[in-house]
Chain A
Amino acid sequence: MRFGTRLIHNGNEIDAPTGALSIPIYQVSTYHQPDIENPPRYDYSRSGNPTRQALEDSIALLEGGKRGFAFASGMAATSSVLAIFEAGDHIVVCEDVYGGTFRILNTLFKRFKLESTFVNAANCRHMASAIQENTRAIFLETPSNPLMKITDLRGAITLAREHGLLVIVDNTFMSPYLQRPLELGADIVVHSATKFIGGHSDVIGGLAVVKDEALGRRVYSVQNGFGAVLGPQDSWLLLRGLKTLKVRLDHQQAGAQKLARWLAGQEQVETVYYPGLNSHPGADIHAGQADGPGAVLSFKTRSIDVARKFMKNVTLAAVAVSLGGVETIVSYPATMSHASMPQSERARLGISDTLIRVSVGLEDVEDLMEDFSRAWS
């Protein structure tokens, strides 16, 4: 069965007792247990809920993993996965990781003595030199946010295997439709399902998928113990979102590809960051590990004035944080997603005041180009 079909037919699309073509929303906290000798499959919704289970089974299948877990947000998924480590452990993290991940590693997890070293993961040697005796995992995000830097997943996985480390990949930007890190040998995938998986900018959710049962038990014990689970209604909305993942992303990606080429030819634009452009560093590596460049791109304008004017005047695209929804969203990392980062660190990473990130939606791309042209002229 092909991916587009599996999104709709994966064993979680029909309610067996009634034949309903939509999984019921089990808005329930607890379950009647008629036989105390034989505990039922579900006893309490933090531990398990049929609607959430359908989502967890679906994402596990789509990512090619053994077991899936749904959390109240992408950060809850990442935090719960990081909570499988112990005080004194160390992890190597790509330096372009999502700001929220950067923040918990430097505050909450640091307090609990989980150490982390941030490296430029575009280069495997940098990763290798950061590995210590107590290193337990490498945490990656590719393409990275917002500069779309590419990490060689196969290289990182080989390195991790040599050192007996787990590889954790945040697959939010690609979704399992375009990139399946577990199939390349990674151990855990995490998602902000708020983005492409939900796809409609209306649900906050996170997912994790592990490659084997042993890791599954470790993550489950955090999910159930810590309890940052996703509610039934939101689980159902993510299931609904998954059904159109391919048609949405096909359209969004085609739009992003057109928009990236068009932006590259505009005199107000200095550089375009998009793995779908041959000139993008690592485009060949990306093409070897993913099935497409995705629908997020960034660009730098010629001047700060142009960037500010653009952000002030766009009308079709929404000015907001987040990405992956049906509506085009433009964001200004300098004052939005990366505002908490010191200016010097931002400058080192290339997150300048002329940088704009675009998450391309389902609008007609011609409308976006007209909107953009009007906004900066």
Chain B
Amino acid sequence: MGWRLESKMVRGAKGSDPHTGAISFPIYQTATFKHPGLGQSTGYDYTRSGNPTREELENTLANLEGGTSALAFASGMAAIATVLELFKPGDHLLVSDDLYGGTYRLFEEVARNHGLQFTYLDTCNEQNLLDAIQDNTRAIFIETPSNPMMKVTDIDSVVRTARAYKLLSIVDNTFLTPYLQRPLELGADIVVHSGTKYLGGHNDTLAGFIVVKDQALEERLRFFQNAIGATLAPLDSWLILRGIKTLAVRLARQEENALKVAAWLNQHPLVQKVYYVGLPDHPGYDISKKQASGFGAMISFSLNSAELVASVLARLRLIAFAESLGGVESLITYPLTQTHAAIPEEIRLRLGVDDKLLRISVGIEAVEDIIGDLEQALA
């Protein structure tokens, strides 16, 4: 139906339970399903293969991303690992060099053992991509904005390059969610998500997603989802569905807060540099304006000196020092030892992920309190 995104988030795919009218979709906490008769199926046989609650979530996300189907997994990493099953030994992928550490670890320490090859490069530059393409290149995998340096890759240019060389374009859309950016509508082939972050939004559920718009691709991925079995459980599926209902109001508030926090950090004498896409002097500002309807709520910043880091983290009271992001609570992370510990030092330093860098996931608290907390911690 032609409803706006906010309305689709609230209503989900079916909207309510077709059997009872229950406004909240039922949690089908079941492993298996009784067959009506020999050779007959209700459409559901075994929860790994299909579960009504998970299906409602998958259809909801597919609608939001402008895809034809979505697949739900036990974590964001499980989703990305399943995407890698599309490739075979000897295949080569081009990957954004500023990347979530867990993705890097999966590629380097798991997938490489299975014969896949990866080249990490600055995907913001189209020429870099073209120069790195090899005969065995099969896909381009990007994060935009990237984690933690907030680099913006032009999705249009990635799609153009991918099409010219018959590569799959894969976009990790975790930071912006379909509320702010819909890569499939821009021509990308696959979107992946850590649903743990903004989609769930409450730091209480792990989940991952793959979204596609092509039936052949869906069929292959469905096969892997069922065969490998890293599927999302019914209760967790329901919690993410519940989270999506408030996605727009949460993220709208988080972004509003982030703009103010970034501006405040930007003028602070102890802050060396602020990385936030919503600051007009951010190198990706214009591209972001073109391909997304907002800047999100993730900010990284570097302090003047590494000596300040420990005391700032110790003094923060409202903002919790914890990994993860996207929840209602503001969180602060030290990428060097937390999210990006798996990335080799040489790459990390080239990107700017150094011992002075902190990353904030801005929550929905009153912005005065968030800034007040940073102010006393940076005093």
B320 interfacial by beta-carbon distance below 8 Å: yes
Question: Is A250 a contact partner of B366 (Cβ separation < 8 A)?
Answer: no
List residues 15-44 of chain A with CB under 8 A from any CB of chain B.
19, 21-22
Residues of B within 8 A of A318 (CB): 15-16, 23
Could you mark each residue 280-319 of chain A with 1 if its beta carbon is under 8 Å from any beta carbon of chain B, else 0?
0000000000000000000000000000000000001010
**Given A247-B250, A366-B4, residue A2 in contact with residue B366 (CB < 8 A):** yes
B282 interfacial by beta-carbon distance below 8 Å: no
Question: Is B23 a contact partner of A364 (Cβ separation < 8 A)?
Answer: no
Question: Is B202 a contact partner of A251 (Cβ separation < 8 A)?
Answer: no
Question: Is A240 a contact partner of B202 (Cβ separation < 8 A)?
Answer: yes
Min CB distance A251 to B, Å, is: 5
Min CB distance B236 to A, Å, is: 13
List residues 11-27 of chain B with CB under 8 A from any CB of chain A.
11, 15-16, 21, 23-24
Question: Is A5 a contact partner of B328 (Cβ separation < 8 A)?
Answer: no
Min CB distance B94 to A, Å, is: 35
Question: Is B249 a contact partner of A363 (Cβ separation < 8 A)?
Answer: no
A68 interfacial by beta-carbon distance below 8 Å: no
Min CB distance B23 to A, Å, is: 4
Question: Is A316 a contact partner of B11 (Cβ separation < 8 A)?
Answer: yes
Could you mark each residue 236-263 of chain A with 1 if its beta carbon is under 8 Å from any beta carbon of chain B, else 0?
0000100110111011000000000000
B329 interfacial by beta-carbon distance below 8 Å: yes
Question: Is B318 a contact partner of A5 (Cβ separation < 8 A)?
Answer: yes
Given contacts A318-B16, A327-B11, 15 further A-B contacts (CB under 8 A): A1-B366, A8-B364, A14-B320, A22-B203, A244-B250, A248-B249, A251-B248, A251-B249, A329-B23, A362-B6, A362-B248, A363-B10, A363-B11, A364-B7, A367-B7
Pull 22 A–B residue pairs with CB atoms less than 8 Å apart, ordered by A: A3-B366, A4-B369, A8-B328, A8-B363, A14-B320, A19-B322, A21-B320, A21-B329, A200-B245, A243-B364, A244-B249, A247-B249, A318-B23, A320-B21, A326-B245, A327-B10, A361-B10, A362-B9, A363-B6, A363-B10, A364-B6, A367-B4
Category for how many chain A residues contact B? 35 or more
B residues with CB within 8 A of A: 3-7, 9-11, 15-16, 21, 23-24, 202-204, 242, 245-246, 248-250, 252-253, 318, 320, 322, 327-329, 363-366, 368-369
Residues of B within 8 A of A19 (CB): 322
Question: Is B204 a contact partner of A240 (Cβ separation < 8 A)?
Answer: yes
Question: Is B328 a contact partner of A244 (Cβ separation < 8 A)?
Answer: yes
Min CB distance A238 to B, Å, is: 12
Residues of B within 8 A of A364 (CB): 3-7
Which of B5, B16, B246, B318 touches A244 (beta carbons < 8 Å)?
B246
Residues of B within 8 A of A13 (CB): 329
Residues of B within 8 A of A329 (CB): 23
Which residue of chain A lies nearest to B205 when distances are taken between CB atoms in the complex? A22
A201 interfacial by beta-carbon distance below 8 Å: yes
Question: Is B366 a contact partner of A4 (Cβ separation < 8 A)?
Answer: yes
Residues of B within 8 A of A2 (CB): 365-366, 368-369
Residues of A within 8 A of B9 (CB): 362
Min CB distance B27 to A, Å, is: 10
A143 interfacial by beta-carbon distance below 8 Å: no
Residues of B within 8 A of A5 (CB): 318, 365-366, 369
Residues of B within 8 A of A201 (CB): 23-24
A212 interfacial by beta-carbon distance below 8 Å: no
Question: Is B329 a contact partner of A325 (Cβ separation < 8 A)?
Answer: no
**Given A5-B318, A240-B204, A363-B6, residue A200 in contact with residue B242 (CB < 8 A):** yes
Query: How far is it, in angstroms, between the C-alpha of A250 and the C-alpha of B329 when the chains are bound?
Result: 18
A217 interfacial by beta-carbon distance below 8 Å: no
Query: How far is it, in angstroms, between the C-alpha of A362 and the C-alpha of B6 when the chains are bound?
Result: 7
Question: Is B11 a contact partner of A8 (Cβ separation < 8 A)?
Answer: no
Min CB distance B204 to A, Å, is: 4
Query: How far is it, in angstroms, between the C-alpha of A364 and the C-alpha of B24 when the chains are bound?
Result: 19
Which of B5, B16, B24 touches A200 (beta carbons < 8 Å)?
B24
A125 interfacial by beta-carbon distance below 8 Å: no
Which residue of chain A lies nearest to B16 when distances are taken between CB atoms in the complex? A318
Residues of A within 8 A of B366 (CB): 1-5
Question: Is B203 a contact partner of A21 (Cβ separation < 8 A)?
Answer: yes
Query: How far is it, in angstroms, between the C-alpha of A167 and the C-alpha of B131 when the chains are bound?
Result: 76
